[in-house]
Structure 1
Amino acid sequence: MQKKVIVTCAVTGAGDTVKKSPYVPVTPKEIAESAIEAAKAGATIAHIHVRDPKTGGISHDPALFQEVVERVREAETDVILNLTSGGGGDWIPSEQNPALGGPGTDIQTPEERHEPIGKLLPELCTLDCGSLNFGDQLYISTTNWLRKQARLIQQSGVKPELECFDTGHLLFAKQLIEEGLIDGDPMFQFCLGIPWGAAADAETMIYMRDKLPNNAHWSAFGIGRMQMPMAIQSMLLGGNVRVGLEDNLYLDKGVLGTNAQLIESAVTIMAGLGAEPMSPEEARIHLGLKNPHRKAGI
């Protein structure tokens, strides 16, 4: 177990959660403020999606990402930004013609997925390393698309967080490394418990950890009620921690929470086990991040 642990807050996600909790941030202002509050509570990294301010639904609008990024960068509280580049992969076959996408299908090219990353140059971005039966829909991220997207990220100088929703994703992430498309020590995120991907249990986490390259940084999260158990299991196995409203809405059974409260809960449990959050500045050094937009003096 590490004594200093990177703590990520997954701030809002893109799921249908806005109607389920009043604490899920929707507008760029709300998302930025929630990220800053999480950082004050101990988060090292804020993982950012954006939503349509009018509907609360999924959005890929670079202007919304830009507003969130600018608000966080202008704040007095430091936090590393990790922007999603995994949007625009949802495929739901049409009932009339399964060769066509039906209602809810949302597909972007690698270039479109990369646009906010290339424009805003965050310190981190996600790279979802494969396709998956994601609940009742298919998430599409083909190998050739991933190679193209990895190359775009590499050219931008942003460090990718390699998102692995199943064991095959981990194998392909390692293939990207072998092909020279990932620079420096790789950073992995095990995404556990999403139907129908890798299970949220210790056995699966250990298996995936043991398949990592020797120089890899890693983290893991579980969704719903498995959020905190998987976060702490990850820490105990030598990894890092992710919690937040993207993955779980509850502090306890029937008790809705904020991002800051979820971070505080994780940090409290960590402290009882002799660990503490890594500061953003410590994590920059640890991960070898580039940070061209950080405010001087923060």
Structure 2
Amino acid sequence: MQKKVILSCAVTGAGDTVSKNPHVPVTPKEIADASIKAAKAGATIAHIHVRDPETGQLSHDVNLFREVVERVREAETDVILNITAGGGGDWVPSDEDPTRGGAGTDMQTPEERHEPVGELLPEICTLDCGSVNFGNQVYISPTDWLRKQASLIQQSGVRAELECFDTGHIRFANQLVDEGLIDGDPLFQFCLGIPWGAAADAETIAYMKSRIPENGRWAAFGIGRMQMPVVAQSVLQGGNIRVGLEDNIYLKKGVLASNEQLVDKAVGITQSLGSDIMTPAEARKTLNLRNPHGRDN
């Protein structure tokens, strides 16, 4: 168990949650404010997606990302920014012709997925390390696309967080490391409980962490009701943690959450187990990140 852990808050995500919880932020101002509130509650990192302000649905608009980033960076409250580079990867088979994508299909090239990262240069960005079934749709991320994205991220100087939704993703993430496409100590995120990826349980965490390089750092998150149990298991097994409305919209059964409430609960769990949360400055030193604020680390 680590003395201090890094706590990420995934404040909005891309799922159909806006109509289910009024606390899910939609506009750039709301997303920035949610990131700042999460930081004040104890989050080390804010993980950012953006949404169409009119519809609340997923957006890839770089200008929306830019507004969020600028608002957070101008705030007095410090927080590390982790921008999604997952982009458009959703493929939904058409009912009329299952060989073609139907309604809900949203695909982007590696270059398009990288655009917000390359322009805004956050400290960290995600790299989803393989394709996976998400319920009845498929997230598509072929290996050659991932090599291209990893190269673009490396050239930008941003740290890649290697998102692993199943054990095969760890194998490919290790391959990227072996090929020299990931600099420094690699950062892994175990994404657990998504139908139909890796399970959200202690045994899966133990197996996945056993498959990363010796110098690798890892975090894990669980979705829905498994969010807080995975927080506890990650702390106990020596990893970092993630909570937030992207992954779970409830504080407890029947009670809708806000991001800061989920962060506060995760902080309490962590401290009750004998660890504490790293500040952004401490995490920048630990992960060897640049500091876009110009503040002392």
Shared topology, TM-score over 0.5? yes
Check the 8 A contact 1:7/1:277 in 2, yes or no: yes
Offset, 1:231: 1.1
Question: Please, which runs of 5 or more residues in structure 2 have no aligned partner?
Answer: none
AA aligned opposite 2:270: M
Residue 243 (1) aligns with residue 243 (2): yes
Aligned partner of 2:259: which letter?
Answer: N
Are 2:97 and 1:124 aligned? no
- DSSP 3-state at the match of 2:9: strand
User: Partner residue of 1:294?
Assistant: 293
Q: Where does the alignment leave 5 or more consecutive residues of structure 1 unmatched?
A: none
Q: Does 1:175 align with 2:181?
A: no
Deviation at 1:93, TM superposition (A): 1.6
Looking at structure 2, the residues matched to 238 and 63 of structure 1 have their Cα atoms a distance apart, in angstroms, of: 38
Which whole-Å CA distance do the structure 1 matches of 2:21 and 2:198 have between them?
26
Normalised by the size of structure 2, how large is the TM-score? 0.98
1:218-263 CA deviation, whole Å, 9 max, x = no partner? 0000000000000110111000010000000111110111100100
Is 1:166 the counterpart of 2:166? The answer is yes
Report the counterpart of residue 19 of structure 1 in structure 2.
Answer: 19
Question: 1:296 & 1:37 partners in 2: Cα distance?
Answer: 20
Report the RMSD for the aligned CA atoms in angstroms: 0.9
Equivalent-residue separation in structure 1 for 2:250 and 2:290 (angstroms)? 34
Partner of 1:70: 70
Q: Aligned residue for 2:7?
A: 7
2:41 alignment partner in structure 1: 41
Distance 1:128 1:279 in 2: 26
Q: Deviation of residue 297 (structure 1)?
A: 6.3
Structure 2 distance, partners of 1:134, 1:170, is 18
Q: CA deviation at 1:270?
A: 1.2
Aligned to 2:209: 209
CA distance in 2, matches of 1:180, 1:119: 23
Q: Tell me, what secondary structure is at the counterpart of 1:8?
A: strand
Deviations 1:66-123 (A, max 9, x none): 0000000000000000000002000012222223211100000000000000000000
Contact 1:9-1:43 within 8 A present in 2 as well:
yes
Counterparts of 1:205 and 1:269 in 2: how far apart (Å)? 18
Distance 1:14 1:129 in 2: 18
After TM superposition, the score normalised by the length of structure 1 is 0.98
For this pair of structures, how many residues does the alignment match? 297
Percentage of pairs with the same residue: 71
Matched to 1:294, the amino acid is H
Residues 3-36 of structure 1: CA deviation (Å, up to 9, x unaligned): 1110000100000000000000000000000000
Q: Is contact 2:87–2:112 with CA below 8 Å preserved after alignment?
A: no
Counterpart in 2 of 1:188? Answer: 188
| Equivalent in the alignment of 2:255 | 255
Query: Structure 1's 72 and 106: CA in aligned 2 closer, same or farther, altered over 3 A?
Result: same
SS of the equivalent of 1:133 reads strand
Which consecutive aligned stretches of 4+ in structure 1 deviate over 6 angstroms post-superposition? none
Aligned equivalent of 1:273: 273
Q: Which moved more, 1:106-115 or 1:89-98?
A: 89-98
SS of the residue corresponding to residue 90 of structure 2 reads strand
Inter-partner Cα distance in structure 2 for 1:69 and 1:295: 15
